[in-house]
Structure 1
Amino acid sequence: MVDLVNRDPNNINPHLQCQFEDVLAEPDGTHSIDCVWTLSSICFNCWKGCCYKIMTLLCGCCIAAEFGCRFALLSFIHIWYFTPMLKIFQINCGLCKNIYTQCINCYIEPLCIAIGSIFHHFKK
């Protein structure tokens, strides 16, 4: 069910919380007439709300559909392409690791043991 009261439950857009007082402010000593300040606040909030509602009415469903398709495509690509390719990579890396380990155990380890035993006989 869609929550019609809390429409940003994950707090994704805190940077967009903008009120009249966040945009316009008159410092002490520079004040307009009280009715102008009050009407400016009303106009700001009215136009901000109306324009947002009109834009969402005209574009909201289309944009939501577009992003729904994009996320469906993203999920599809990850499920049917990237995850299997990662598994192939992991299998091949496991094979390379086994080959590398065998080469180290067969060639490098005996050489290091032989060289170590030569130096083992040297004493102070």
Structure 2
Amino acid sequence: MATESSEVKLTIGNENVKANDVTGGMEIDIHERDPNNLHDDLKIQFQEIIGEPHTDVFSIDCVWTNSFKVFTNTKIWCYRITSLICALPVSFCWGVYFACFAFHNIWLLMPCLKAYGMNLRLLRSCFNSIIETFVKPCYLAAGYIFYNIRITKGSGD
């Protein structure tokens, strides 16, 4: 049975795991990079940042058009160069962070919350017994004392 040489395989116990199994076969859209609109606030254009306020106060046309080009290209290329240098290390760090976050939730937080809930159920049972035994009779007695009291409004004499 021939396999592709570019495919990375990992064996954990008796289970063979392929590198593409990690993504669950999910493909990314190279053209739509923010499908959930996480960064609508970062979709900033030149006209949203720089605007000349009055028809009498404006720069020379070539300054205005070249400023637009410089702004746009600087924004694009600074982002591309910064992401070229930093995206992989930062992605690695976020991957580690979310892996630790998932580990913490799965292996530490949820078992503690479950154990805490079990202990609280026992405590609630004891608390309910105390309330039913000592407090409820007092309130029932007070209720019977004030049960027949009627307040009527006088005719205003």
TM range (shorter): 0.7 to 0.9
Displacement after TM superposition at 1:106 (Å): 2.6
Structure that is richer in helix per residue? 1
CA RMSD between the two structures: 2.2
Residue ranges of structure 1 left out of the alignment (5+ in a row): none
Cα distance in 2 between the residues matched to 1:101 and 1:43 = 72
Paired residues, number: 123
For residue 87 of structure 1, what is the aligned residue in structure 2?
A: 114
Q: Relative to 1, partners in 2 of residues 1:38 and 1:123: Cα closer, same or farther, differing over 3 Å? A: closer
Residue ranges of structure 2 left out of the alignment (5+ in a row): 1-26, 151-157
Q: Helix, strand or coil for the counterpart of 1:4?
A: coil
Cα distance in 2 between the residues matched to 1:81 and 1:42 = 53
What is the identity, as a one-letter code, of the residue corresponding to 1:54?
Answer: I
State which of 98, 101, 108 in structure 1 corresponds to 2:135.
108
For residue 16 of structure 2, what is the aligned residue in structure 1?
A: none
For residue 87 of structure 2, what is the aligned residue in structure 1?
A: 60
Displacement after TM superposition at 1:92 (Å): 0.8
Instruction: Work out whether 1:31 is the aligned partner of 2:94.
Output: no
Displacement after TM superposition at 1:71 (Å): 0.5
Which range is displaced more, 72-81 or 29-38?
Answer: 29-38
Q: Helix, strand or coil for the counterpart of 1:11?
A: coil
State which of 30, 43, 47 in structure 2 corresponds to 1:17.
43
Q: Helix, strand or coil for the counterpart of 1:66?
A: helix
What is the identity, as a one-letter code, of the residue corresponding to 2:108?
Answer: Y
Which range is displaced more, 61-70 or 2-11?
Answer: 2-11
Displacement after TM superposition at 1:108 (Å): 3.0
Cα distance in 2 between the residues matched to 1:42 and 1:21 = 12
Q: Helix, strand or coil for the counterpart of 2:57?
A: coil
Structure that is richer in strand per residue? 2
For residue 40 of structure 1, what is the aligned residue in structure 2?
A: 67
Q: Relative to 1, partners in 2 of residues 1:43 and 1:111: Cα closer, same or farther, differing over 3 Å? A: closer
Higher RCO (C-alpha under 8 Å, 6+ residues apart): 1
